Homo-oligomer: A and B are copies of this chain.
Amino acid sequence: MRILVVNCNTSAGMTAAIGDVARAAALPGTRVVAVEPSWGVSSAEGFYESFISAAAVLDLLATTEESFDAVVMAGFGEHGREGARQLLDVPVVDITEAAAALAVLVGHRFGVVTTAPTAVAGIEHSLATAGVAGRCAGIRATAIGVLDLHGDLDRTAAALIAGGRELIAAGADALVLGCAGMAGLDLELERALGVPVIDGVAAAVALCESLVRLGKTTSKAGPYTRPDLLKDRPGWPVGLHRPVPVDA
């Protein structure tokens, strides 16, 4: 099985880190390809960047010649997932909804620790339109920028732990890492806080694998019907879905 993991920003360093986390989470037979769009924003921390990023990611998906069995959209709270579903037949899993989907299986209410305060409203919209906001106990911003997360890891971890403590006090008993750039920090938070912490990238990889193995593809009977303007466009997304055995 081949999964395309798309970083929503143009930072190749972050793509590499996301790819590592995705690969660590994947089944032995899964091949993960991590990419970033060739244009767009270096980081997405608010509505403006999110909308630019959405188009850049969709452009990447529409022009990728290679075909994949599933796509992970690795931008927490970013826009575009329903557009990718309209474009593609293979499953598309956004890390925002993936993290929420697993969090509610191991906790009663989840909290989200994220980066900039300007990112919070977009995450709220993303959870609400995904229909999974009902069990979110809150979102806390650490005020550490996406690209600074890996600068001083101790400071990052301390900020996430502080945010996590506030969320637990507010009723969360599970946490979600609210940025693809935090991928891999879940275990450190779990140790510090004693609650399950979900990394959306790993969660999305696992959900993609599950959907592919169960043979499920994106519905073309509703709003994800392929748009007319792509009708005559050649390419992998349409009609090329072929479920691949796990050991492929």
Give the number of times this chain occurs in the complex, counting copies: 6
Which one of A25, A51, A216, A224 has the highest number of Cβ atoms from chain B below 10 Å of its Cβ? A51
Whole-angstrom CA separation of A108 from B97 in the bound complex: 13
Q: Is the CB of A104 within 8 A of B83?
A: no
In the complex, whether A248 has a CB less than 8 A from a CB of chain B is no
Whole-angstrom CA separation of A134 from B216 in the bound complex: 21
List residues 172-222 of chain A with CB under 8 A from any CB of chain B: 172-174, 187, 194-196, 198-199, 202-203, 206-207, 209-211, 213-222
A218 neighbours in B (Cβ, 8 Å): 106-107, 196
| Distance from A114 Cβ to chain B, minimum over Cβ atoms (Å) | 12
In the complex, whether A230 has a CB less than 8 A from a CB of chain B is yes
Partner of A97, one of B82, B104, B221, B247: B104
A172 neighbours in B (Cβ, 8 Å): 222
A221 neighbours in B (Cβ, 8 Å): 107, 168, 173, 194-195
> A-B pairs with the 5 shortest C-beta distances?
A173-B222, A55-B55, A131-B134, A206-B210, A121-B223
11 A-B residue pairings within 8 Å (CB atoms): A27-B27, A45-B227, A46-B225, A46-B227, A49-B229, A85-B106, A97-B104, A105-B211, A106-B219, A196-B216, A202-B214
